[in-house]
Structure 1
Amino acid sequence: MTALTVDQMALVKATAPVFAEHGATITKHFYQRMFAAHPELKNVFNQTHQKSGSQPETLARAVYAYAANIDNLGVLGGAVTHIAHKHASLNIRPEHYPIVGRHLLGAVVDVLGEAVDQPTLDAWTVAYEQLANLMIGVEAKLYESASWSGFRPFKVIRKHVESDEITSFYLAPADGSSAGGFQPGQYVSVTRFVDRLGVDQPRQYSLSDAPHGKWLRISVKREAARGEAEPGHVSNLMHDGVGAGTVVHVSAPMGEFTLDRTPSTPVVLVSGGVGITPMASMLATLVAERSDRAITFVHACRNTRVHAFRDWLQGIAAGHPNVRRAVFYEQVSPQDRCGIDYDHEGRIDLARIESIALQPNADYYLCGPVAFMREQRDALIARGVDAARIHTEIFGSGML
């Protein structure tokens, strides 16, 4: 591997503002170039994110961050780990990186033209090789520790409606072997062929049960059309076309948003909407391990109709003195029972539940829409919680 010289590092860093200004244009063109030359890669990349522009924008931000910090890559450690888990879940392999590099650098030249001189292009070529080797090394360790390689056939042994929007699928290995282990909070990728697109499409779903080797459970929200956004291709296929006996292909569990099971200090799980899925796994694991940690489960949703795992959570809280819950309904309906289905009306407000949510030395796990997590994180920090004790999960695109 060729090492970046000091001058080349300076050239890459100097071009960071270019990606701030033109990055989305470059990355959108990059994907068009790459898919034209390698249409098989449409099976790997989320085509909905391509159409919405979120994937090109994510890549542009990642490239900008890399260029801006080329002389101090240590600050990108968390982002590298996050992306590596996404890549490993999608079975991104070393042979994909030269393809990406060739078309990414080609897109830079296509978009910027004569503004890119040869020394700058040479510097970016070496910089990309450095990044590719970094990612390949991190991903290799993930593959080595994974329960299996690539996508493995699983059979749906049970399908259970959790709410008007969320349905759970219990997945057991088609060959009858163990489902393997995972860390509560992790996710898997599931692929389905989408007729409308003519390609397989992977989607990542959090595991929503404790690890026990019998099955893996995912709980999928049906994504309806919103505004100009189309309904979710895979989520609707799962709800409407996948039942008991159907075989789906599943990646090994990945994800760095995981429950630390070693301390005895309190744990507070805060979720919004479908963000309840990894929290259900964390709570189920703590209960299965008969943990005596003080556990607070805080959840927000609209009302009973969309409240997944409602009866299960009621039973856990009633049967385990160390588990307390605080459920907020934003749109209470006449059939919703205060004190049974929910505890508070409105959005999550930590001021109303400080006595159970703010615990000394507690670890906080947040999952839900980005704005929701930002709001809860800010509220916790404002109340003196150490930011290092606040852990968040981010859904959506995050792939280089």
Structure 2
Amino acid sequence: MHSSDRREDVYSPEGLADRISEILKCPVTIEDSNHRLISYSKHEANVDDARVATIVRRKVPEKVINSLWENGVMAKLFESDEPVIVPPVDSVGLGQRIAVSVRKNQVILGFIWAQTNGDSADENMIQILKEAAQLAKNYLLQHQPRQRNSEESYKEFFWQLLSGNVRNKADIERQAKRFGIEFNGKLGVTLMEFGTDVTEMIERHAYYLTETLQQARVIFRLFDQNQLIMLTQLGTDKDSFHDFTADFIHKMEERLHIKPIKGAYGLTYDSPEHITNSYKQALKVLELKDQFPENLQGIHGYHDLGVFQFINEIHKIRTRDVYYNESLEKLKQYDRKHRSELLVSLKIFLECDCNVHKASQLLHIHINTLNYRLKRISEIGTIDLRNYNQKMTLYLDLLVDQMEMNHL
């Protein structure tokens, strides 16, 4: 684009898309960083299904975004401001493109896509797209969502909510208005804990996902060392914090090849004054996942913890009362003397909800062998395995024992 060009054409995003399209002689779309459609050039013939779907929905379809990540296109756009050749992906209706990211410093503001329909990209086309990205930057900066008054005051308000320093609903809503935020629907705190130092690349991709995943809406977000803390909101009954958490972890691991990432979320509340409760619950989920990694694998929500919600409190009571389970002590002594595995067999049996078929498979023994062990467990420990209350007590005491062993 040269100084002799009609500059008024590029003052609006529509004019810019049309001007790029006119010069390159191919369809052009401009998107924001969340893949929402900002503008597109006048409709031409031979446009592909992905472009049509994007225009109709005003957003790039999720399956197209996923395919671009799988083919390494999005990673290149995040890492460089150089235009990227995008090969066709027939399975999602995407024809050949050339794309460039629009950014200010390292912050992604949006993307420009030109559907080339098989034409090769020459140096002139690449240079035109780079110049177009600079022009689009000014518009996208002006039309970003209303800027927060300051990053520090934003974080300070979020920390006040998390710590419970502000609990009056009217005060919370008054402060929220400063940031253009309304607390409606189900609110909860979601945490992502990274098992590695959080680099600029991780932070950029994490923020990108908070804006593009559909299962929940992120209202507040900040990094605290290796934890991403988010205030999330459910918009409909179909939304799910579990799906949001699982999808976030899957995409971060798949795209950046980083592990482990632990996800957790607290209970949801209708009122913002309970955000601090949800935060404490999410922290407790992470703590318990560290203590019981096998038992709680795949568990993210506080409400899914079951008896694990109370295991630390039970442990404190047991320690205070110098309590021990006589039946388990008898089984421990028998195992030590005879080098048997009655205690571990009982634990697996209880964890399998007393299903002998499943428990025998996990123990890699014949079902008759397990039945014999259960008979000996009942005899040695004076245990009635038909008594639900007794079985629950045994299971809780086995978990307490496991905690103490982990602390050794």
TM over 0.5: no
Higher relative contact order at CA 8 Å, sep ≥6: structure 1 or structure 2? 1
Counting helix residues as a fraction of each chain, which structure ranks higher?
2
Structure showing greater Rg: 2
Counting strand residues as a fraction of each chain, which structure ranks higher?
1
